[in-house]
A and B are shown apart, each in its own frame.
Chain A
Amino acid sequence: MARYEIAASRAAGLLGAASAALMLALASPAWSEDQGPIRIGVIAEAQAVAGSSIPQAAQIAADEINAKGGVDGRKIEIVSYDNHSSSAESVRAFQRAVNEDHVNAVIGSYISEVVLALEPWAGRLKTVFITPGAASDVITQNIAKDYEHNKYTFHGYLTSGALSGLVCDAAKDMLVDGLKMKTAVIMSEDAAWTTPLDAGYEACLPKIGLKVLDHIRFSPDTTDFTPIFNKIEGQKPDVIITGVSHVGVQPTVQWKSQQVPIPMFGIASQATNSTFWKDTNGATDGVVYQGVSGPGVAVTEKTLPFVDAFVKKFGNDPSYCGYTAYDDVYIIAEAIKRAGSLDSDKLVDAMEKTDYVGTIGRIEFLPQGDPHVHGLKTGQGFIAGLMLQWQNGKQINMWPAALANGKLEFPSFVKIASGGN
Chain B
Amino acid sequence: MLIWQILIDGFAISSLYALGATGFTLIFGVTGVLNLSHGAIMVAAAVAAWAASGNFGAGAYLAAAFGVVVALLLALATYYLVVRRLQLSRAVREEEKEIFILTATLLWGIMIQEAIAWLFTNNAKTVLPIVDGVVTILGVRTPANEIFTALVCWATIGGLWLFVNRTLAGKAVLAASMNPRGVTLLGIELSTVYVGVWAIYGALAGVAGVLLGMFLGVSSYSAGPLTASAFSIVVLGGLGSVSGSLIAAYVVGYLETLTAYLVSPAYRAIPALLLLVAVMYVRPRGLMGRR
Interfacial residues, chain A to chain B (CB-CB below 8 A) = 47-49, 52, 85, 190, 217-219, 221-228, 230, 247-250, 253-254, 257-259, 270, 273, 275, 278-281, 283
Smallest CB gap from A413: residue in B:
B134
In the complex, how many angstroms separate the beta carbon of B1 from the nearest chain A beta carbon? 10
Minimum C-beta distance from A80 to chain B (A): 15
Q: Ordered nearest first, which 3 A-B pairs have the shortest CB separation?
A: A249-B124, A227-B260, A257-B143
A281 B266 Cβ-Cβ under 8 A = no
If the complex has contacts A230-B5, A278-B54, A281-B129, are A48 and B122 also in contact, measured as CB distance less than 8 A? yes
**Is the CB–CB distance between B123 and A281 below 8 Å?**
no
Please list 28 pairs of residues, one from A and one from B, whose beta carbons are closer than 8 Å in the complex, sorted by A's number: A47-B121, A47-B122, A48-B121, A48-B123, A221-B221, A223-B216, A223-B217, A225-B265, A226-B9, A227-B257, A227-B261, A249-B125, A249-B126, A249-B217, A249-B219, A250-B126, A250-B217, A254-B216, A254-B217, A257-B132, A257-B143, A257-B145, A259-B134, A270-B123, A279-B54, A279-B123, A279-B124, A281-B127
Give complex CA distance A148, B120 in Å. Answer: 42
Q: Which residues of B contact A219 (CB under 8 A)?
A: 265-266
B260 pairs with A224, CB closer than 8 A: yes
Cα-based distance from A254 to B5 in the complex (angstroms): 15
Q: Tell me if B123 and A253 are in contact (CB < 8 A).
A: no
Whether, in the assembled complex, B281 has its beta carbon less than 8 Å from a beta carbon of chain A, the answer is no
B126-A253 in contact (CB<8A): yes
A49 to chain B, nearest CB (A): 5
**In the bound complex, do residue A258 and residue B122 qualify as a contact, i.e. CB atoms below 8 Å apart?**
no
- What is the CB-to-nearest-CB distance from A234 to chain B, in angstroms, rounded to a whole number? 9
Give the Cβ gap from A83 to chain B, nearest Cβ, in Å.
12
Residues of B within 8 A of A48 (CB): 121-123
CB of A223 within 8 A of CB of B123, answer: no
B13 at the A interface (CB under 8 A):
yes
Q: Do A190 and B121 have beta carbons less than 8 Å apart? A: no
Q: Kindly count the residue-residue contacts between A and B in the assembled complex, taking CB atoms under 8 Å apart.
A: 90
Whole-angstrom CA separation of A217 from B124 in the bound complex: 20
Is the CB–CB distance between B260 and A248 below 8 Å?
Answer: no
* Count of residues in B whose CB is under 8 Å from the partner chain: 37
Q: Which residues of B contact A (CB under 8 A)?
A: 5, 9, 13, 50, 53-54, 117-118, 121-129, 132-134, 141, 143, 145-146, 216-217, 219-222, 225, 257, 260-261, 265-266, 268
For the complex, give the distance between the alpha carbons of A230 and B126 in Å. 21
Distance in Å: Cβ of B142 to nearest Cβ of chain A: 8
- The reply to whether B126 and A280 form a contact with Cβ atoms under 8 Å apart is yes
Residues of B within 8 A of A253 (CB): 126, 217
Whether B216 lies near A221 (C-beta < 8 A) is no
A258 and B134 form a contact (CB under 8 A):
yes
Q: How far is the CA of A227 from the CA of B140 in the complex (A)?
A: 12
Q: Contact check, B121 vs A49: say whether CB atoms are below 8 A apart.
A: yes
Distance between A222 CB and nearest chain B CB, rounded to angstroms: 6
- Establish whether residues B123 and A228, one from each chain, have CB atoms under 8 Å apart when the complex forms: no
Query: Which residues of A are found within 8 Å of B141, using beta-carbon distances?
Result: 258-259
Q: Please name all residues of chain B whose beta carbon is closer than 8 Å to the beta carbon of A270 when the two chains form the complex.
A: 123
Residues from chain B with a CB closer than 8 A to the CB of A278 are 54
Chain B, residue nearest A249 (CB)? B124
Check A228–B216 contact: CB distance below 8 A: no
Bound complex: CA of A247 vs CA of B268, how far in Å? 17
Whole-angstrom CA separation of A339 from B126 in the bound complex: 49
Q: How far is the CA of A223 from the CA of B9 in the complex (A)?
A: 13
Q: Find the A residue at minimum CB distance from B145.
A: A257
Chain A contacts of B265 at CB under 8 A? Answer: 218-219, 222, 224-225, 227-228
Q: Which residues of A contact B132 (CB under 8 A)?
A: 257
- The residues of B that contact A228 with a CB separation of less than 8 Å are 265
